[in-house]
Structure 1
Amino acid sequence: MTETLGFMAAVIGLLITPGPTNTLLAASGSQRGMRASVSLIPAELAGYLLAIALWGSVLGSLGERWEWLSVTLRIASALYIAYLALRMWRSATDLEVAARVVVSHSGLFLATLLNPKALLFAAAIFPQSAFRGPVEFVLPALLFSLLLIPIAALWIAFGTAVAGGRLRWLSPFVIQRGAALVLAGFSLSLGWSTLH
């Protein structure tokens, strides 16, 4: 029971912190509203579960033999997040571009798949026994899923509240530019920590 509560607290703590996926969810909420953006949650969940399973079962053992593999994947993640930041920054000033740069299911899935949080979940939060086989992975994955859904909805609701004027000091432009800066910060942080 204590292990389960510790797992839940760690998952909530990491999921609720701002990051690339949460930034994209909030941006979608501000652009498209709650109802349209909620459909992104399964893409986030699929991205996380796939990345956690890969990190935990395959890359854990391969990373010990081939150190360059982990470094390469972290650099690829940093570059992709930088690309998302640039797109979001540009979309804040050009409404025509903003209409085309709506957060898509595939875009959110890929951003989540490359999100460095997945590595932390696999290496430090999920029990190592979860990666022994599919049956062992089911319970932690189910609990993770039940925690992710309301947290993702909260990030979307935040973006929706901003766009709806309930947080008047924030505008969609500020959200887009702020989201771009957060993504750029994550990209730089990940790149710096990987190379040093």
Structure 2
Amino acid sequence: MMSPIELTLAVLLLLLTPGPTNSLVLLAGAERGLIGAMRLIPAELLGYLLTVVPLALVGGSVLQGHNGLRAGVTVAAAVWVAVLAVRLWRVPVVETGHTSVGARSLFVTTALNPKALIFGLVLLPSPDRLPANLVLFAGLVVLVAALWAGLGAVLRGGGVRQPQALFVLRRLAAVWLGAISIVLAVRSVGA
């Protein structure tokens, strides 16, 4: 069993790793500014909790011996991230007021985020510390989301408000999400 400090570091490092959720929060910060992106954090937190809590409570026993179920979740995540990549790629440059990241897409992306499997099955389960682990996890999710949103807001302040710059950032996010989708699809074969 990990100590609270070890758990904090493990969760923090995994949350900080660039992935589909962080990419969307960064883009939201660039499109909406810090305050606008912060309004999306409850959707991210709910998405994580929707997956993490059931997995932490009973996931290990349910998934044990059911590799097909784990692969199915990974495939669903790969498909969803690919859909997001296509949507971001298709946002036209001329829509200056258009925001490509909404609460629903952030919620679904986070609920399907493969990191949630690691949190729910490996890092957070503990018979005597689960409530405290979940509170710690929720606080760290909010902190890391604020950091990614802040980074996006800094990019916004650096000229990303310009339609062409936002277009390029969306395209870069789309390419990154496409790469993540491919990695997830390949992993699902070996899951």
TM over 0.5: yes
Contact 1:162 1:171 in 2 (8 A): no
Match of 1:40 in 2: 40
Contact 2:74 2:187 in 1 (8 A): no
Contact 1:29 1:157 in 2 (8 A): yes
Match of 1:108 in 2: 106
Contact 2:30 2:160 in 1 (8 A): no
Correspondence 1:153 to 2:146:
yes
Task: Report matched runs for 1:42-81 at 5 Å.
Answer: 42-81=42-81
Contact 1:90 1:97 in 2 (8 A): no
Using a 3 Å threshold, how does the CA distance of structure 1 residues 184 and 98 change in structure 2: closer, same or farther?
A: farther
Task: Report matched runs for 1:143-182 at 5 Å.
Answer: 143-165=136-158, 171-182=165-176
Report the secondary structure of 1:8's partner residue: helix
Correspondence 1:96 to 2:89:
no
Match of 1:139 in 2: 132
Report the secondary structure of 1:54's partner residue: helix
Deviations 1:60-96 (A, max 9, x none): 22222433211111101110011011111111x4433
Unaligned runs of 5+ in 1: 131-135
Which shows bigger deviation, 170-179 or 147-156? 170-179
CA displacement at 1:34 relative to structure 2: 1.1
Structure 2 Cα separation of the partners of residues 111 and 33 of structure 1:
20
Task: Report matched runs for 1:18-37 at 5 Å.
Answer: 18-37=18-37
Match of 1:133 in 2: none
Contact 2:56 2:125 in 1 (8 A): no
Of 170, 182, 185, the match for 2:179: 185
Deviations 1:2-56 (A, max 9, x none): 7100000001101111111110001111111111110111111111112111223
Using a 3 Å threshold, how does the CA distance of structure 1 residues 166 and 4 change in structure 2: closer, same or farther?
A: farther
Report the secondary structure of 1:95's partner residue: coil
Of 118, 122, 125, the match for 1:124: 122
Q: What is the aligned-residue identity percentage?
A: 36
Structure 1 Cα separation of the partners of residues 138 and 29 of structure 2:
20
Contact 1:162 1:172 in 2 (8 A): no
Structure 2 Cα separation of the partners of residues 66 and 149 of structure 1:
32
Contact 2:20 2:177 in 1 (8 A): yes
Using a 3 Å threshold, how does the CA distance of structure 1 residues 46 and 192 change in structure 2: closer, same or farther?
A: same
Instruction: Work out the number of aligned pairs and report it.
Output: 188
Unaligned runs of 5+ in 2: none
TM-score, length-normalised on structure 1? 0.86
TM-score, length-normalised on structure 2? 0.88
Contact 2:57 2:125 in 1 (8 A): no
